[in-house]
Structure 1
Amino acid sequence: MTDTVIDTAPAPAASPRLASRRLPRWTPLAIAAGAVAVGCGIGAGAGLSSHIQWGLIALILFVAGSYAITARVEGRRQAKDRVATSLVWACFILAVVPLYSLVETTVSKGAGVLDGTFLTHSMNNVLTLDAGGGVYHAIIGTLEQVGIATVIAAPIGIFTAIYLVEYGRGNLAKWVTFFVDVMTGVPSIVAGLFILSVWFVVMGKAPASGFAGSLALAILMMPVVVRSTEEMLKLVPNELREASLALGVPKWRTITKVVVPTAIGGISTGVMLAIARIAGESAPIALLVFGSNLINTNPFSGPQSSLPYFIYQQYGNGNDPSYARAWGAALVLIAFVMILNLVARGIARWKAPKTGR
């Protein structure tokens, strides 16, 4: 008879759960506070008068401190990730600080003259050394010039983008793409000189008009519209095109009824951003429109002002009342661009494809 031996030795203890040390969530804030305090101390002790230098010292200390503490607690791999995240936030702050400074300075210096009189009066019979006057004539000029440029550039840009995305094949499409890329980097003064040579010298038209300035602005606006529209059309899924074509719908009708309506939100946003891009141009206006202190509602005849040119003109006068009017006009221009961006965002959200549940 065989004896059965039963092993009564205790089973080995279960291995402990793998655990890694982690820093608390408030660690970045604590490191940032310490870096700011030490950076301010170093800046004050070294006699640095610029707060920007203090901020750069604090930034370096923050990145170095984040790496050192994270590497010691969590390891070098997590430390590198923490450094990359810190650099992203640092770049974001470096981008926001100048923007905030610009807006804060413009609002503080321009709000003093911004009232109903400033928005509804021109500079007619107002001496540069006297207070008063307004930007009504410049607002009219900007709206008319930008509006005409949009009517010219937006359809051409949108149709060019449709051609490049839907039909563009071969050398012609390559050359069109090349010239669009070249036009994207053309300085505004070059566009003004081109219209000056064609409009005035070759055609022999009147020496100044808002329409001539609109032509130069349209040249600057066109490549922006083409590029933005092209990218929006590329985002439309090919399945939508194929489904429409499979049903026997012609290609042109597929584009007008399927592709363009799907991308209309992004296209509208691109057009609005292009309008904001040309709204601040002053060089073509100085060359082609000449500016005026009077209200001129006819963009096809006579000099006409605009907000960018009015700012340049007033700041060039070199006296306090003119400086105040320049800052007030700058505030109006910023508000105009901000409204355009808000409208673009609203259109994009309104026209965004709705997903059903």
Structure 2
Amino acid sequence: MSHTSVSAPRPGSLKGATLPKWFSWVVAAGSVALGLGISAAAGLDSSVQWALIAALLFVAGTYGVSARVEGRRQARDRVATSLIWVAFLLAVIPLASLVYETVRRGVKVLDGYFLTHSMGVVADTETGGGIYHALLGTLEQVGIATAIAVPIGVLTAIYLVEYGRGRLAKAITFFVDVMTGIPSIVAGLFVLSLWIVVLGMGYSGFAGSMALAILMLPVVVRSTEEMLKLVPNELREASLALGVPKWRTILKVVLPTSVGGITTGVMLAVARITGETAPLLLLVWVTNFINANPFQDPQASLPVYIYLQYANSGGSGAAYDRAWAGALVLIAFIMILNLAARGIARWKAPKAGR
């Protein structure tokens, strides 16, 4: 009795209704070349225009060839994957361009002198001067805002997840959702009217920190709440079954399990407020001199420093270079915070076998 065998189609073979792995790269290269050609023929000068043309050609070419060789079902899958890649590039390319441009322009005056000196009596049109007073102000203002918002936010999230029931919990959740969408200028106006106008307090870094804490609070509450919800209930039940009080279960079991995610959420909230300018202009005011006391007199900050230097530069000159250098320092500051958050999260994360 003879047996006949049917050989399976070879992977990557066009006859086997499967396109090779390099197919997408070939279509992408062809789309870029064709997009450049169409843009040159049509006289389009903008790089955005030819990039969009190339993206459309890439999606259309992927679908056309795949539908002919692999069938419409597989072609639709490839089109979905192509759209994801196009969306990814549309998000990454502007970000990479922004970082590149900031680094290229910011390194012109960024050195040790720039980081350790203030503007002092240096005019905006003169060379020299530094960012020390603004960097010191930002560190103090963000630090105070974090010290205010993190304990309140974490304790609020613990209440909502572990204890919150009834109308009070619903009211707190509602107001946290409302605060999430509050514009920064509104938070600044609220603190301005209460702290400076009603109570008669002057401009200070602490006034700005209160506005930043208002903006930071809902982010901390929401991120901490989600992290606490991810802790398995079995861990809580096992601790309670051993006779451990609920408050101690939260302190020794729930929080250590979720500390990595909570730390990441806090750092995201810090990054959210570090670049705020409007409330600081209203509450902290501006100064070119070093003020290490955040509770008295105006104090500089990085976002306001960048804004003022660029506004007074006229698009060129020493102030223009200082503005870009300040932007680079601000980006580096936020990046260091995020790297520190990742390190703390990995260090504090529960280890297997413990």
Which TM-score bucket, shorter chain as reference? over 0.9
Measured in 1, the distance between the counterparts of 2:328 and 2:233 equals 44
Alignment equivalent of 2:329, drawn from 322, 332, 342: 332
Structure 1 position 307, deviation (Å): 0.2
Given that 2:146 and 2:213 are in contact with CA atoms closer than 8 Å, whether structure 1 keeps it comes out as yes
Q: How many residues align?
A: 346
1:6 aligned partner: none
Work out the CA distance in 1 between the residues paired with 2:47 and 2:125: 36
- 1:158 has 2:154 as partner: yes
- Kindly name which structure, 1 or 2, has the bigger radius of gyration based on alpha carbons: 1
Q: Give the structure 2 partner of residue 302 of structure 1.
A: 297
- CA–CA separation in structure 2 for the residues paired with 1:186 and 1:228: 17
Instruction: Tell me the amino acid that sits aligned with residue 233 of structure 1.
Output: L
Match of 1:236 among 219, 226, 231: 231
Q: Is 1:104 the equivalent of 2:94?
A: no
The code of the aligned residue for 1:245 comes to: L
Q: Normalized against structure 1, the TM-score is what?
A: 0.95
* d(CA) in 2 for partners of 1:77, 1:173: 48
Cα separation, 2, equivalents of 1:73 and 1:170: 60
**Residue 62 (structure 2) aligned to one of 57, 60, 66:** 66
Matched, 1:38 2:34: yes
Question: Partners of 1:81 and 1:330 in 2: how far apart?
Answer: 42
Provide, for residues 7-42 of structure 1, a one-character-per-residue CA deviation record: whole Å limited to 9, x for no partner: xxx66x536256442111111001111111111111
In 2, Cα distance between equivalents of 1:115 and 1:102: 21
Equivalent residue letter for 2:259 = I
1:143-164 deviation digits (Å, cap 9, x = unpaired): 0000000000000000011111
Maintained 8 Å contact 2:117/2:132: yes
Counterpart AA for 1:138: A
Q: Which amino acid aligns with 1:260?
A: L
CA shift for structure 1 position 205: 1.4
Partner-residue secondary structure (3-state), 1:124: coil
Determine the C-alpha separation between the residues in 2 that align with 1:250 and 1:73: 65
Distance 1:325 1:318 in 2: 9
1:274 is the counterpart of 2:269? yes
Q: Aligned residue for 1:218?
A: 213
What's the CA shift string for 1:40-68, capped at 9, x where partnerless?
Answer: 11111110001111111110000011111
Correspondence list, 1:126-275, <5 A? 126-206=122-202, 208-275=203-270
SS at match of 1:29: helix
The answer to whether the Cα contact below 8 Å between 2:256 and 2:350 also exists between their aligned partners in 1 is: no
TM-superposed CA distance for 1:93, in Å, is: 0.5
**Aligned to 1:292, what secondary structure does the other structure show?**
coil
C-alpha contact 2:184 2:276 (8 A) present in aligned 1: yes
Which moved further from structure 2: 141-150 or 344-353?
Answer: 344-353
Amino acid at match of 1:316: A
Percent of residue pairs bearing the same amino acid type: 69
Give the root-mean-square deviation of aligned CA atoms: 1.3
Deviations 1:194-244 (A, max 9, x none): 0001101221212x1100000000000000100111111111111101111
Please point out which of 114, 119, 135 is paired with 2:115: 119
Amino acid at match of 2:222: R
| Cα distance, 1:351 vs structure 2 | 2.1
For the residues of structure 2 that align with 1:299 and 1:221, how far apart are their CA atoms? 19
2:310 corresponding residue in structure 1: 315
> Counterparts of 1:116 and 1:318 in 2: how far apart (Å)?
22
Comparing 48-57 and 18-27, the one that deviates more: 18-27
Residue identity in the other structure for 1:191:
A
1:145 and 1:166 map into 2 onto residues whose CA distance is 32
Deviation (angstroms), 1:76:
0.9
Letter in 2 for 1:120: T
SS of aligned partner of 2:192: helix
Superposition pairs for residues 72-91 of structure 1, below 5 Å? 72-91=68-87
Structure 1: tracts of 5 or more residues without a match: 1-9
- Deviation of 1:172 after TM superposition, in Å, equals 1.0
Mapped to 1, the partners of 2:84 and 2:228 lie a distance apart of: 30
- 1:65 is matched by which residue type in structure 2? G
